[in-house]
A and B are shown apart, each in its own frame.
Chain A
Amino acid sequence: MRQYIPSLVLLLCLLFFWEIMVRLMDVSALIVPALSAVLLVLWDGLITGFLWHHIWITSVETLLGFVLGCSIGFICGVMLGEMEKLRRLLWPYVLATQVVPKLALGPIFIIWFGFGMTSTVVITALICFFPLVENTMTGIQIVAPEKRDLFRMLGAGRWKTLVRLKIPAGLPTIMAGVRVSIVLALVGAVVGEFIGGSEGLGASIIAAQGMMDSSLMFALFILITLMGVLFYQITLLFERWLLRNWSKGKIL
């Protein structure tokens, strides 16, 4: 815990600097509201329950998109890692799903899936998909040659080698992909709500912008950041628990 103290002190200094500078320079609340005003709006939103509904919606979209994208990414990663011909055939398309700007796909998803949760979940899933494909594909291919030979000597077939050796051996790499995905998932959900949502924290930012309510916008930024950190930490704890017996490398 002690190693986090300097970061915490820096955060308090920055927040203090924000409050002081806004007051001293008499900055308009529309441009940059004071920290105290933002925290008041945040507190108010939490107390009245106004924000909880949006937190819930964004969390559900994030987690649904995350689970969907990671699951499909994992399955595709295993298939591409195992079948070289398939990898050569499909890799350019997998790459294309990643390099295409997801925001640009938003409008077409709205036509396909309508406004609301489905479009946002699909965008989130698409963003989470790539890190899992990439890391799973790499992870299952980096097994030590001696362990592969061991499984051959023991007469293990392809399926057993995959399930009992390659996937567990690649798990640290796969979990690194999961960790990247959870952060991207929240970004995906918020961006998805920008385009096609009427509920959730992303949609609330757009609504606050419409009302020129900068304090609310800043309050939402803080909330989204805190959620991102929380999701990341939960994933990290899960990863540490899952990989507790893996010998190589210390996780973070």
Chain B
Amino acid sequence: MTDTTFFDFDGASYAYESGATILSTVDWRIPEGAFHCLVGRSGCGKTTLLKLAAGLMLPTQGQVRVKGEVIKRPSQKVGFVFQTPALLEWLPVIDNVLLPISLHRLVQAEDKDNALELLELVGIADLAKRYPRQLSGGQQSRAALARVLLPWPPALLMDEPFAALDAITREELQDDLLRLVSLRKTTVLFVTHDITEAVYLGDQVAVMEQGQISRIVTIDLKASRGKNFRHENSFSIYCQSIREAMGQKMPEEM
């Protein structure tokens, strides 16, 4: 393990008490500052892997280390963005964003300024006093993003956070996410079942099948990535290669 490894899955496995195996011996290292995507079909174990990295679940065998420390409970170094925005509907947006602070101490004026600055960054500063029910799906996702970034943890775990959004809103949020994480070189592990989303966002895309990482594809066009990246030939080639990797071992296709 090098000093720059952030998440280190060391033979991590997870099985239910009934014996059903969800993850089997995953060895995977994610370097600091990298944006890794994990794709796979529904039920292949992606979310379980993410929860092991978060410390929300513990491996039944092997270990998961965060910055060299074996993780046994959720860590302040890691923020989690869920499939749904998980906003508290009884609090206005600003108080939802301030939740990581208000749970532990009194909110100061400075904290409110920081939260407003973050809402500005995610583009919904004018909605600070609204309640979640008054926001669209995309605006709720932006509020959830601002909330996880308030303490600005060095790493983010994201579990299909944009899956429920329409295509255009999703693309806008993907661009905003890339912009935000590049500000502080945040390490990201992003789970999705959308291959194009994974190729667009990730430096590397890992393919998961039946509880194992079957292939890791490096997307080395990061530097040239721009608005039109999605329409370039190389983008399609990457998508194609990942699709093939996902299809390879499916039992019905063998």
Contacts and interface: CB of A to CB of B under 8 A. Distances in A.
B70 interface: no
Interface residues on B, range: 20 to 34
Contacts of B82: 146, 149-150
A207 interface: no
A248 interface: yes
B104 interface: yes
Nearest to B144: A150
A144 B86 CA distance: 8
Interface residues on A, range: 20 to 34
B133 A247 contact: yes
A163 B69 CA distance: 32
B100 A154 contact: yes
Contacts of B84: 144, 146
Interface in B52-72: 54, 56
A156 interface: yes
A150 B103 contact: no
B86 A147 contact: yes
A50 interface: no
A147 B91 CA distance: 14
B74 A155 contact: yes
Interface centre among A144, A149, A168 (most CB of B within 10 A): A149
A153 interface: yes
A53 interface: no
A245 B131 contact: yes
A165 B103 CA distance: 11
Contacts of B83: 146
B55 to A, nearest CB: 8
A153 B133 contact: no
Nearest to B100: A154
14 contacts: A147-B88, A149-B51, A149-B82, A149-B86, A152-B56, A154-B100, A155-B74, A155-B76, A156-B103, A165-B88, A171-B90, A246-B133, A247-B89, A247-B131
